[in-house]
Amino acid sequence: MPPDRPSQPASTSSGGDGAPPRKPPRSVYDTRRSKRRRPRWLRIALWTSGSLVAVVLIAALVVGWWVHGLVDKVGQISIDVKNTQSVLHNLPTTDQPTVALVIGSDHRSGDGKGAPSRSDTLMLVRIDPRTKYISLLSLPRDLHVDIPGYGIDKINAAYTDGGYKLATQTVENATQVNVNYLITVDFSGFEQLVGAFGGVYVPVDQYYHHVNVAGADQYSQIDIAPGYQKLNGLNGLAYSRYRHTDSDFYRNARQQVFLKAFEQRASSQLHGIGFDQLSTFKHVAEAIANSVQVTGKNGVPNLSTMITYATTAYSIRGRVISAKLDAQTAGDATNSYVVATPEAMRQAVFAFMHPDSVVTPKNALPGKNTGGKKPPKAFKPKIDPASVAMTVVNGNGTDGSAGKAGTALMTWGYPATVSTTPAPSFSFTQNAIYYRAKDRAAAQDVAEILGSSQTHPITPAYAAFAASGLVVVIGKDFHGTLAKNPPSQTPAGGLPPDMVRDATTYHDPFLQAEGPANFPVLYPTVRQTASVLQTGVGTPVRYYNIRDAGGGNNSAYAYWWYNGTPGAYWGIEETRFTGAPILANPDQQRKLDGRQYMFYFNGAHIHMVAFIWHGTAYWVQNTLRDDMSNEDMIAVARSLKPVR
C-alpha cells in the first residue's frame, strides 16, 4: 500500500495553486485630446513613421545591448564543460535533428563542501525541425552501465568520476546516440527559471508529503497537494527530484512531465515576442545566463544558432514524446541498481530517434474525427494470426529491427519467433515474406500489416530458418511501425476486460464535493478493477481554487492507485480553468456521446482525455508512466456523468 498521508494538508499555500491576477496594462498613450488636432492622415503617419519607429529602434538598441551581454555571460563556461567539447559531435546545419544531453547536478543535503557533486538528472533531448517532434529519453541514475576506464557501475557515478566529459561519453556508449550539445543546469538555476515564468502549471498526480523527523530518513521535505496547480521553483524542484516512495523510473517520468508542463507554460506566455512579453523574456534569459551552461563541438553556440533552435522549439510546441526505457531493479536492499537488456535499450533509443515512426492510438479511437471523414474500415486478416507460425529475420543490418517487427506483429496475435541469425544478405529494401504453398494467404495478410512488402515462394536458403510457417525478412523500409494497427481489445459496445459498470461506488465521494464546488461535478460510472480511490488532502475528492480560473472552489481532483504499483496513480481533474495550458494542442478530437473529446498522446499511449462542458474542463490523466491502457482511459472519460 502507498505511504500513510495526513487527511488534511499541512499548509494550503505550499502547493501554490495560483498567482495574483495581473494588473491591467497602462494605457499606451494619453487619451486626452488636444484642442488643436492635426489631420487624421498626418497623425497616422507621424505615429507610424515617428513614434513607433522610435520605440522600436530604442527597444532594439536596449535589447540588443542586453542580449549581447547575456550571450557573453552564457559563453563563460567552466573548464569541465569546455573539456567536454572534444567528445561532442558537429552538425553541418541547424535544420538537422539535434541531440542535447541535459545534466542536472548538485550537492545533496548533508554533504560537506568538499563532497563531490552527483548527476541528479541525465536526459537526452532531441529536436527535429523536419518532423516537428521533440523527444525525451531519461536514464535512471542507478542504471548499471560500462563507464569507460572504471568498469560497470551506476551511470551517475560517471559524473563523480570524470565530470561532464566522462558522463557524456558514458551516455553515448550506453545508448549509441551521438550528442551534439551539452546543457548543464544547477538546482538554483532551475528555481530561477521556473520563477521567471511566475510558476509552472503541473498535473500533480498524488499527494507528495514528507517532513524530516529525528532518527528517520533525512531527505528533501515536500508538501504538494494533488491536482492541476501552479508550482513555484522550490516546489517544482522538490516534485521533479522526488523518488522516496516509488523508484527512479517514476522520478524520471516526473521530470519529463514537469519539462512538458514547462514547455506548455513557456508557449502560453511567449506567444510571439511583443512588448508585453519583454519583461518575461528578460527574466527568462537572465535566469538561463546565470545558471545554464551550453556548449557544442566548437564552443558556445552563437546568437543566431540559439535563436534558430528557440524558434524551432516554439514552432514544435505540443509535440513532445517521452521514450520509455523498460528496465528492472536488481541487487538487494543494501545495494540496489537498475538493469536494462540491450534489446530494451535499442527499443527505447529507436523511439527516441524516430518519434514520428511510433504507432499512435489515432486509428484506434472510437467515432469519427473532427474533419468529418469516416475512418477507414479496419483490416482483418483472412487467416487467424494465432494459427500462423513465423520466424522474423533481420535483412537490413540495423540492430534490433527484427525484434521490433516481431514484437509489433505479436500485437496482432502472431506467435512470432525472432531469429538470432541474420539473413544471408542485408540488401533488402522492402520486407520479404517467404511462404510455403499452404501459407500463401497468411503471407499476404502479413504483407498488408507490415506494408512495403513482397511475398515469395520459399527458397532453400530461407527454408533453413524454420521447419514450417512463414519466414519474414525485415527490409530497410521498416522503421519500427506497422502499416495496419492491431484491432482494439475492447468488445464492440462493451468495456475493456478490466472494467465494470458501477454507478454507486464513486457517486457519494463526488457528490460530497459538489456542495463546496462552484461548477457541475461529474463522477465515473465505471470501475477499473485494479485501481483503488485514494484519500489524500481533505476528502477523497479534493476541491480547491486556481486563481487564474476565478474565485471560489473552482477545481476538484481525485486519484486512484493503479494495480498496487508504487508511483502509479491516475486521476480525474475538473476545473473552471478552461484556458489551462495543458489543454492546448490536442493530438486528435472526436465527437462522442454529444461531447467533443480531446485526446493527448505520448507515443503509443493515450496520456490524457479531456472535454469541456458547461464552462468546465474535465480530463482523465494517465499515470506518470502511462500504465493505464488506452481502452481504459477512453472508457473512464466516456463514463463521466453528473452527480445530480
pLDDT in tens, 496-554: 888 999 999 999 999 988 888 889 999 999 999 999 999 877 679 999 999 999 999 99
Cross-strand pairs, 183: 102, 294
Out of 52-66, 289-303, 570-584, pick the least confident.
Answer: 52-66
pLDDT > 70 fraction of the chain, expressed in percent and rounded: 75
Q: What is the pLDDT of residue 50?
A: 39
Q: Which residue has the cell 542504471?
A: 143
Mean pLDDT across the chain: 80
Cα torsion 269, 275, 281, 286 to 10°: value is -160
Contacts 24+ apart (CB under 8 A), 209-218: 209/5, 209/6, 209/10, 210/244, 211/10, 217/244, 218/109, 218/110
Question: How many other C-beta atoms lie within 10 A of the C-beta of residue 390?
Answer: 25
Cell numbers placing 501: 459498470
Q: What is the pLDDT of residue 369?
A: 59
Residue 205: closest CA among 249, 254, 244:
254
Q: Which residue has the cell 474535465?
A: 618
Strands 416-418 and 390-394: parallel
- Cα distances (angstroms) measured from residue 275 to each of 38, 52, 69, 270, 314: 27, 12, 20, 11, 18
Mean local confidence (pLDDT), 365-379: 64
Which amino acid belongs to residue 345? M
Give dist(CA 225, CA 535) in Å, integer.
Answer: 12
Out of 194-198, 361-365, 430-434, 640-644, pick the least confident.
Answer: 194-198
Mean local confidence (pLDDT), 562-574: 93
Given a cut of 80, whether residue 62 has pLDDT beyond it is no
Question: How many other C-beta atoms lie within 10 A of the C-beta of residue 362?
Answer: 13
pLDDT confidence tier of residue 70, bands split at 50, 70 and 90:
low
CB 205 within 8 A of CB 571: yes
Mean local confidence (pLDDT), 51-66: 42
Given a cut of 80, whether residue 623 has pLDDT beyond it is yes
Residue 63: closest CA among 303, 237, 355, 278:
278
Give dist(CA 59, CA 51) in Å, integer.
Answer: 12
Out of 238-247, 541-550, 555-564, pick the least confident.
Answer: 238-247
Q: What is the pLDDT of residue 129?
A: 84
Q: What is the pLDDT of residue 7?
A: 40
Out of 58-72, 396-410, 530-544, pick the least confident.
Answer: 58-72
First to last CA, the chain: 33
Out of 296-300, 443-447, 504-508, 570-574, pick the least confident.
Answer: 296-300
Question: How many other C-beta atoms lie within 10 A of the C-beta of residue 384?
Answer: 11
CB 526 within 8 A of CB 495: yes
Residue 473: closest CA among 424, 440, 522, 514:
424
Q: What is the pLDDT of residue 73?
A: 56
Q: Which residue has the cell 490536442?
A: 586
Which amino acid belongs to residue 301? P
Mean local confidence (pLDDT), 463-487: 89
Given a cut of 70, whether residue 99 has pLDDT beyond it is yes
Give dist(CA 484, CA 540) in Å, integer.
Answer: 42
Residue 510: closest CA among 522, 528, 526:
522
Cell numbers placing 361: 492510438
Out of 4-13, 304-313, 397-406, pick the least confident.
Answer: 4-13
pLDDT confidence tier of residue 107, bands split at 50, 70 and 90:
very low
Given a cut of 90, whether residue 355 has pLDDT beyond it is no
CB 200 within 8 A of CB 190: no
Q: What is the pLDDT of residue 57?
A: 40
